[in-house]
Amino acid sequence: MPSDLRCNALLFAFSAMGVLAIVSGSSKLTNASEPPNIVFIFADDLGWGDLSCYGQRRIKTPNLDRLARQGTLFTQFYVAGSVCSPSRTGIMTGQSPARHRIFGHLANRESNQRRGMPDALDPDVPTLTDVLKDAGYVTAHFGKWHLGNVSPDQYGVDAFRTDKFCNVAGKQAIDIWSAEARPVCTANILDATLDFISEQSDAPEPFYVNAWFSDPHATLNPSPDQLDRVKNLAPQGVPFPGVAQVYYACVLEMDRQVGRFMDRLEQLGVADRTLVLFSSDNGPEDFQIRNSAHSGVGSSGPFRGRKRSIYEGGIRTPLIVRWPGHVPAGKVNRTSVISGLDFLPSLAAIAGASADAVSDGDGEAMDDVWLGADRERRTPCFWEWRYRVFGHPANKPPQLAVRDGDFKLLVNPDGGRVELYDLASDPGERDNVAANHPDVVQRLTRMALQWNKTLPDSPRDPGAGMESWRWP
């Protein structure tokens, strides 16, 4: 990307979407640097409130806390979807997942068809890995994929090992779902990542790697050793472990493995020239889901909603960014709203990719914010969910949401059930202030409904967007 593009705020107007993507300004640090290696670690169903650096008090997560101290922790990061596939599509394309008909999780053909979904993300859509590969990166993907039954190499991924789930495992699958594999799945994903990085550590090209976990997604099966590490959470005298014990054993193991990974990056001599991102694909699972036997105890922190919900708890997840000498260490950014849709334009800017590559995105280049700027976001964020939400009625939101500044509005596609929250004073979305701000309601409702009109249609669940309890 030419520096004049990076040094001026260049606005791309997307007539189809009515929104703006901004390739931002102040990448002074990157100008002075070689493009860094990039590793993106993506946890699965980890809640915003599950790491001790985000306020969790049941166990310590010392390694992720250390990553946060060595980099910047963001309190206002959002994924673009409230479940796996949409959220991952948002990261990989920089575009709202519904534009690609990825409305929900990719499942079997029948289920996909019933919901008007494809069986995979269209490989012709430019992805983050396409963009970085074009910019001279060697790219790789290890672990969970969940973008459908098309091989990752069709998306600009040079090397990959993934799960059997979508029959695109590559040379050698990594078992991340069987009960036997669960205690070692995160270790195995990071081992594959480290093998790749070892090979690349002396190569002239920088690398980009997705290390996408299946922890702490259900069904969890920590080993006796792993359970023993959190035995303080065990119920007394009964012959089976406690639910928090099962869940946090897995979170703790994930934390340990990230620590081991970071130590190994140091030993390989690449840690200082590697940008490491850590996040989670959506909020914590709910107990109402049968296989979520133990994942339902995950924490959404102070937020309302869990996985599937477009209240904060379903879409606001941890984001830690570490790049020594470039990303401020020990900083907590509470000011800037970041979206998963920003990954592509932000990383493209950091990698020096062509501006064309990011010209049809829905995100905003926030590389300047990652690198230390404390500015507010310039563009709104949108979410949608067409299906039922399980669990407590309070966690079941309307089907559309828009955040603009500190205001978040939720509304159904028919214009009903309007809720407005001032997230600066009420991050938990408890006080609907729609009645006090008719002008804001009108403006944001129009934005949300106009955005919704640009999205493909698909069958919606009866009951989507409604609170419900089967009253006696």
Query: Can you give the binding site for a second copy, defined by CB under 8 A?
Result: 49, 53-55, 57-58, 68, 73, 75, 178-179, 182, 218-221, 232-246, 287-288, 290-291, 293-294, 296-297, 300-302, 304, 332, 334, 392-394, 428, 430-432, 435-436, 467, 469-472
55 or 415: CB nearest a second copy: 55
Nearest distance, CB of residue 338 and a second copy, angstroms: 14
Nearest distance, CB of residue 393 and a second copy, angstroms: 5
- To 10 degrees, what angle do helices 62-70 and 243-267 make? 50
Nearest distance, CB of residue 143 and a second copy, angstroms: 20
CA distance 300 to 317: 8
Nearest distance, CB of residue 202 and a second copy, angstroms: 37
Nearest distance, CB of residue 252 and a second copy, angstroms: 16
Nearest distance, CB of residue 395 and a second copy, angstroms: 10
Nearest distance, CB of residue 462 and a second copy, angstroms: 16
13 or 435: CB nearest a second copy: 435
CB atoms within 10 A of CB 252: 22
Nearest distance, CB of residue 167 and a second copy, angstroms: 21
392 or 443: CB nearest a second copy: 392
8 or 108: CB nearest a second copy: 108
206 or 301: CB nearest a second copy: 301
173 or 181: CB nearest a second copy: 181
Nearest distance, CB of residue 84 and a second copy, angstroms: 18
215 or 362: CB nearest a second copy: 215
211 or 249: CB nearest a second copy: 249
18 or 55: CB nearest a second copy: 55
